[in-house]
Amino acid sequence: MTGLAIRTFHAAYADDPGFRGLLARHWPLLVTLLVAAGYTATLTLLHTWSVSPIDEVVYIDYLDKLWRQGVIHDGEYLGELARNLYACHGVIPFGRMGPVCGTDLGDPSDFPFGGFSSGAGYPPVQFWIVRVVGDALGLIPGVGQLAGWRLVGTLWLAGGLVFCYLISRLLRVTGWAFVAVALAIVASPLGYWSFSFVSTDAPMFFLGALLLWLAMRHARGARSGWWLVAVSALGATFKPTIIVAVGLVLVYLVLHWALAPHGSGRGVRGAQRVRSLLRQLWPPLLSIVAAMAVQFAWRRIQTMLQVPSETTSPGQGVEVPLSLDLIGNQFTSFLGGTIRMVVPEAEGVTSAFIPLGWLVIAGVVGAVLLLPRVSPDRALSISVLVAFIVAAPVLTLALVLATGGIFPLPPRYGIALVPGMLAVTVPLLRNRWAVRALLVYGVLLMAAWIAISVVFARWFA
């Protein structure tokens, strides 16, 4: 009945220039935003002061100190609020850490990682955004400051979904298939931990979607090249993993040029062909340079702001020796685990998310295997598969060259590739029963996460 009502409404008002026409034309986006935003906001308001294990206590410490000092300095200890969160509220799902709540919390060495903050590596731009917007949201009755900071994740999610929808519009594939895949991503472990807590991964989803949309418009002749450079540089002021999205853009534009049947590709020869390639590639190449320059500049600033300390930070205990096995394992890290593997939940809960891994693999690999029959953009399908396979090992090697150290990159670092996965998966869902099954699965996962949040709230009360 709902589908029939929507089709009837669309048929009646699709050409209406007013508000009803807007609803009729873009109902997949509106449905997705209403459900996704309502769901993540509900989760956020269910959370207590217990923090996410994805370094949320470090981010909260950064936000707490922002008005006083602007940035976190290398060698700096966690502040009073962060220590109180560790001791009195704990880390989900691992419990309280450090001294007993109510006792002396003044000795940093009593806390995980010697009480040092690991936030100095982050430029302050995204934290200023979260602090300003989150403080405003916190003024809403019944919300509070911490919940306000966390609610910014819902805004990053909504912005990312808007550009995911615009990408799907460029491919002329939306409808219930878009709603189903988008809500499956929102209902995943990646969605839970990234968008309902303070997270540095949430902006990467938004920026990844924005960069891919700009790249697709550039490939289609829109003058958006400088926007790609600007957004890449901005993304580097958030987190170095923006390079994953910039790499996807580079591969996509190369393949789009190479696969073009005429004009910019195979039908052009000599100097004209070279010029067409340069027109296509200068934005992503310059974007990589801009992102690296921003990160280099921040590292220099970070060194100048370093705080002398009598002790040395023990790090986070995740560094490992570089090996062929480590690099080899990274080739499948993003493809199989980005939306499914974030925090080691209980085995019975984790098994419920296995189909999400199948969805990513089936969508990303299937879009290439079924070319060109179901793919509206062959270059996009191939580049998304390439990015999911090579991004993690390339990022691993880049980390070795930049810092001299290495650790197994968590699959969540591939969040900037998720908009591409959504774009190539939606065209594959042509069977309405498959779409309905995915919708039901997503709704069930959302209900499960809400129940888990209620349990966490009581457990860590």
Question: What pLDDT score does 11 carry?
Answer: 47
Q: How far is CA 24 from CA 6, 11, 163, 172, 407, in A?
A: 8, 8, 19, 16, 48
Question: What pLDDT score does 263 carry?
Answer: 47
Indicate the pTM of the whole model: 0.91
CB count in 10 Å sphere of residue 321: 7
pLDDT tens, per residue, the chain with 461 residues: 455 555 554 444 455 555 566 676 788 999 999 999 999 999 999 999 999 999 999 999 999 999 998 899 888 899 999 999 999 999 988 888 888 888 888 888 888 888 888 888 899 999 999 999 999 999 999 899 999 999 999 999 999 999 999 999 999 888 899 999 999 999 999 999 999 999 999 999 999 999 999 999 998 887 778 999 999 999 999 998 999 999 999 999 999 888 876 544 455 555 676 777 787 788 889 999 999 999 889 888 888 877 666 555 555 555 666 667 777 778 888 887 888 877 765 545 677 888 898 899 899 998 888 876 656 688 999 999 999 999 988 888 777 665 566 777 888 999 999 999 999 999 999 888 999 999 999 999 999 999 989 988 877 66
Question: What pLDDT score does 13 carry?
Answer: 47
CB count in 10 Å sphere of residue 291: 23
Question: What pLDDT score does 205 carry?
Answer: 97
Question: What pLDDT score does 203 carry?
Answer: 97
User: What contacts 286, CB < 8 A, 6 or more positions away?
Assistant: 229
Question: What pLDDT score does 33 carry?
Answer: 96
> What gap in Å lies between CA 159 and CA 126, rounded to an integer?
15
Residue closest to 163 by CA, chosen among 227, 243, 259, 238? 227
Q: What is the 3-state secondary structure (H, E, C) of the chain?
A: CHHHHHHHHHHHHCCCCCHHHHHHHCHHHHHHHHHHHHHHHHHHHHCCCCECCCCHHHHHHHHHHHHHHCCCCCCCECCHHHHHHHHHHCECCCECCCCCCCCCCCCHHHCHHHHECCHHHCCCHHHHHHHHHHHHHHCCCCCCHHHHHHHHHHHHHHHHHHHHHHHHHHHCCCHHHHHHHHHHHHCCHHHHHHHCCCCCCHHHHHHHHHHHHHHHHHHCCCCCHHHHHHHHHHHHCCCCCHHHHHHHHHHHHHHHHHHCCCCCCCCCCHHHHHHHHHHHHHHHHHHHHHHHHHHHHHHHHHHHCCCCCCCCCCCCCCCCCCCHHHHHHHCCHHHHHCCCCCCCCCHHHHHHHHHHHHHHHHHHHHHHHCCCCCCCCHHHHHHHHHHHHHHHHHHHHHHHHHHCCCCCCCHHHHHHHHHHHHHHHHHHCCCHHHHHHHHHHHHHHHHHHHHHHHHHHHHCC
> What gap in Å lies between CA 239 and CA 233, rounded to an integer?
10
Cis status of the peptide bond prior to 93, with omega within 30 of 0: yes
